Chains A and B, each alone.
Chain A
Amino acid sequence: MKPYLAVIMDLFRAALCSRVLWILLMMITCFLLALAPLALERVAYQTNDSSTGNALQIRYAGYDFGMPIQVHGQAPERLIAFAVAWFLDYIVDFMVGFFGVFIALVVTSPIIPETYKKGSVELLLSKPVSRPLLFLAKCVGACAFVFLNIVYLFVGLWLIAGLRLGLWDVGILAAIPIFLFYFVIFYCVSALAGLIWRNAIVSLTLALVFWGACIAVAQSKTVMETVFDTEQSAAALERANSINRPGREFWKSVYRFGVLPLYTVFPKPLELDNTVQYLLNGTQGVGENVRLHGLRPGAAGENPYSPIISSAIFVAVVLGIGCLVSYRAEY
């Protein structure tokens, strides 16, 4: 394993020397420092009939942020927990799940193309190392680099949630491997593209296009299923009256032969969000508030880990293809 460990360590050395790691750590620190002054405090307020009631005050760096939110007949602790969960959902899901993974892909996409560039690869391949393991070591190195950053970010978020908001939720920490996995899904596509085309821009573009395709397929499936469900009763009525709405069969074919097979084969990053939320809130789906808006597919009661299993199969297949390509390629 010594040569492969050397390959992984070399990636960290490269990151340190190119200042990429420092820049990322600094960005995360700035983000955490920006969040740290945020606090949600319970305050008492005077009602019109001169009695006192409960309220929640959002504070930022000691300053009140807006008016206190009055709490009528609810335990304030429950409201705090809900607000914190909503806040974390937004922060974790949007900031980390989108921007974090995007930045991670941008930073790591040149790793494989640089390795297999003419002039560098010959010397590496002349060494007694296995080609598939070299490819995997590079992928592991990239993931380890991202893992380091995710750990720093999530531990920071966990500490802020605990110290400032009073919510010591281990679910935040448990989301670390899920987010790493989220990154791995798209990084393996980027790595395979980098191996074939040896170009960082192509590698990043394909990973982003694939990311978009996964979201598009999942959203299409949800929308189509919703439309088909609501139309079902209307269609039955129309059929009874011998009315044939044009295009219905076409869209059903698109769903059956296009969207559904793609959805089965593709990884499921959006559903992976649900798994994260399951770990964060104990509920499947992104908090009840988001679920109400119907933004996420996946129904309560489904196995929260099934997106991980199907996505893991996808990752294994893509990495397997990568190993085969690297084994057979001639440089």
Chain B
Amino acid sequence: MASTFAIEVDSLGKTYRSTLGRRQHEALRGVSFNVAPGQIFGLLGPNGAGKTTLLKVLLGIIRPSIGRARILGEAVGSSSSRRQVGYLPERLRVPLHHTADSALTFYGRLSGLSGRASRMRRGELLERVGLSAWERVRVGKLSKGMLQKLGLIAALLHDPQILILDEPTEGLDPVGRKQVRDILLAAREQGKTIFLNSHMLLELELICDQIAILNYGQLRFLGSIDSIRRRSESARLELELRGPETEARAALDMYGEARWGKLGEAHYRVDLTLADQLAVDQCIDGLRAGGISIVGLRHHTTSLEEAFLEIISSEPLDSEEKEEQK
């Protein structure tokens, strides 16, 4: 039966055990999510959250302890599922005897491409990332960014349905990042599913349709960029006020702690956080009722970074996690 999801992860758990089995570490705990075809899916989490383990499970490099994962309906690790996947590792190490050209031929052959098919496709891809002039150059002479682009081409070469990319924009300059983003967006247009693991929150914010946040091996958040922002309903306001200070303070006191800055005579800037839109309305009404002029008002939206930090810090930790933190 054909699967409706490109990637299915169901109650996935992975426990690493030491050689003698005395020590164990739960890298993934009951992680479940689905990725629809044609989506760009971002995986976020602090170091040690289990992101790389999850990626390796999806690639079939390690086996889950419990649960299951499927790629286009095929069990992960099966030859047919790996044929559908293009992978870019975080620290790509291309053997130094290769040129960009020969490395692509080699990885193409490993993916089952003939030399001819690989030649036809790599020219176009090298052109797109601006590496055409470097195809005969040994990989040892390529910069980190160029190597990263080469890895991306190697992942795209056999035209896979799913791309799993670990920090694809790491080490790239802004132009290179833009090129990679454009390639990923074009791949999405072609119906490819892209699974991104990145610390570059801004990059994820720009291109991802869906985000998952992992911490201590558990899924802490799953949803769109908008929903992650909406999740944090509190509103941060920056107000510029004119009027008597006592009235202004009286009007704002009930909304908790505010940061006050004096800009001039009876002229203030106030930063405060309000619970929701209703509180914002009431706050404005209170100020106006006290005869305070609102010279300026700026509503700060929650950035992905703020939401991310909030999620990974606000979730309650169980005793084991606290132990690990120590």
The interface of chain A, by Cβ under 8 A from chain B, is 2-3, 5-7, 10, 13-14, 16-18, 114, 117, 119-130, 330-331
Q: Which residue in A3, A121, A123, A126 is a CB contact (below 8 Å) of B112?
A: A3
4 smallest CB-CB distances across A and B, nearest first, come from: A17-B97, A6-B109, A119-B93, A126-B87
Q: Does B290 contact A (CB under 8 A)?
A: no
Q: Is the CB of A123 within 8 A of B102?
A: no
Assess whether B95 is interfacial by the CB under 8 Å rule: yes
Encode B70-97 as 1/0 by CB contact (under 8 A) with A: 0000000001101101010101110111
Known A3-B109, A3-B112, A117-B93; judge A126-B61 contact (CB<8 A).
Answer: yes
List, sorted by A's number, 12 A–B pairs whose CB atoms are closer than 8 Å. Answer: A3-B109, A10-B95, A10-B106, A18-B97, A122-B61, A122-B87, A122-B89, A123-B93, A125-B59, A126-B61, A126-B85, A126-B87
Taking CB atoms, residues of chain A closer than 8 Å to B63 are 330
User: How long is the Cα–Cα vector from A7 to B59 in the complex, in angstroms?
Assistant: 20
Residue numbers in A under 8 Å from B60 (CB-CB): 125-126
Q: Is B111 an interface position by the 8 A CB rule?
A: yes
Q: Please give 8 more A-B residue pairs, beta carbons under 8 A apart, in addition to A17-B96, A122-B87, A125-B60.
A: A3-B112, A13-B97, A14-B97, A119-B92, A122-B56, A126-B82, A330-B63, A331-B61
B110 CB within 8 Å of chain A: yes
The CA of A18 and the CA of B140, in the complex, are separated in Å by 13
Nearest Cβ on chain B to A238's Cβ, whole angstroms: 51
Contacts of B106 in A (CB 8 A): 6, 10
B107 within 8 A of A: yes
Q: State whether A123 touches B87 (Cβ < 8 A).
A: yes
Contact of B61 among A10, A18, A125 (CB under 8 A): A125
| B59 and A119 contacting across the interface, CB-CB below 8 Å | no
> Which residue from B62, B83, B89, B97 sits with its C-beta under 8 Å from A123?
B89
Instruction: Please provide the chain B residues from 104 to 145 with a CB less than 8 Å away from any CB of chain A in the complex.
Output: 106-107, 109-112, 114
How far, in angstroms, from A123 to B154 measured CA to CA in the complex? Answer: 10
Are A123 and B91 in contact (CB-based, < 8 A)? no
- List residues of chain B with CB within 8 A of the CB of A124: 110
Which B residues lie within 8 Å of A117 (CB)? 93
Query: A330 contacts B61, CB within 8 Å?
Result: yes
**Residues A129 and B93 in contact, CB atoms below 8 Å apart:** no
Question: B79 touches which one: A14, A123, A128 (CB < 8 A)?
Answer: A128
Among residues of B, the one whose C-beta sits closest to the C-beta of A121 is: B61
| Cα-based distance from A126 to B60 in the complex (angstroms) | 7
CB neighbours of A17 from chain B (8 A) = 96-97
Report the separation of the CA atoms of residues A115 and B83 in the bound assembly, to the nearest whole angstrom. Answer: 20
**Chain B residues near A13 (CB, 8 Å)?**
97-98, 102
Report Cα–Cα, A212/B66, bound state, in Å.
45
Cβ of B87 to closest chain A Cβ, rounded Å: 4
Which of A114, A119, A121, A128 is in CB contact (< 8 Å) with B83?
A128
Measured between beta carbons, the chain A residues less than 8 angstroms from B91 are 119
Complex CA distance for A243 and B61, rounded to whole angstroms: 67
Q: Chain B residues in contact with chain A, CB under 8 A?
A: 56, 59-63, 79-80, 82-83, 85, 87, 89, 91-93, 95-98, 102, 106-107, 109-112, 114, 151, 154, 164
* Cβ contact of A128, chosen from B56, B96, B112, cutoff 8 A: B112
Name the B residues within 8 Å of A123 (CB-CB): 87, 89, 92-93, 107, 151, 154
Q: For residue A14, which residues in chain B have a CB less than 8 angstroms away from its CB? A: 95, 97
Q: Which residue of B lies closest to A130 (CB)?
A: B79
Residue of A nearest to B61 (CB): A125
Q: A129 vs B93: C-alpha distance in the bound complex, in angstroms?
A: 19
**Do B61 and A3 touch across chains, with their CB atoms under 8 A apart?**
no
What distance in Å separates the Cβ of A312 from its nearest Cβ neighbour in chain B? 30
Residues of A within 8 A of B85 (CB): 126
A3:B110 contact, CB within 8 angstroms: yes
**A331–B59 alpha-carbon span in the complex (Å):** 11
Given contacts A14-B97, A18-B97, A122-B89, contact A330 B62 (CB under 8 A): yes
Q: Which residues of A contact B98 (CB under 8 A)?
A: 13
Tell me the minimal C-beta distance from B123 to chain A in angstroms: 19
- Closest B residue, CB atoms, query A3: B110
Which residue on A lies nearest to B164, using beta carbons? A126
CB contacts (< 8 Å) of A129 on chain B: these are 110
The interface residues of chain A lying within 8 Å CB-to-CB of B82 are: 126-128
CB distance from A108 to the nearest CB of B (A): 15
Taking CB atoms, residues of chain A closer than 8 Å to B56 are 122, 330-331
**Which of A10, A13, A117, A130 gathers the greatest number of chain B CB atoms within 10 Å?**
A10
B93 cross-chain contacts in A, Cβ below 8 A: 117, 119-120, 123
B112 touches A2 (CB 8 A): yes
Across the interface, do A6 and B92 meet the contact criterion of CB distance under 8 Å? no
Identify the interface centre among A123, A130, A330: most chain B CB within 10 Å of its CB: A123
Alpha-carbon separation in the docked complex, A127 to B87 (Å): 9
| Residues of A contacting B96 in the complex (Cβ-Cβ under 8 angstroms) | 17
CB distance from B247 to the nearest CB of A (A): 64
A16 nearest CB across to chain B (Å): 8
Alpha-carbon separation in the docked complex, A121 to B85 (Å): 16
Measured CA separation A121–B61 after assembly (Å): 9
Task: Assess A331 versus B95: contact at CB under 8 Å? Given A13-B102, A128-B83, A128-B111.
Answer: no
Closest to A115 in B: B95
Chain A residues with Cβ below 8 Å from B83 are 128
Q: In the bound complex, do residue A119 and residue B110 qualify as a contact, i.e. CB atoms below 8 Å apart?
A: no
Distance (Å) between the CB of B30 and the closest chain A CB? Answer: 20
Q: How far is the CA of A122 from the CA of B89 in the complex (A)?
A: 7
| B108–chain A nearest beta-carbon distance, Å | 9
- A29 CB to closest chain B CB (Å) equals 23
CB distance from B155 to the nearest CB of A (A): 9
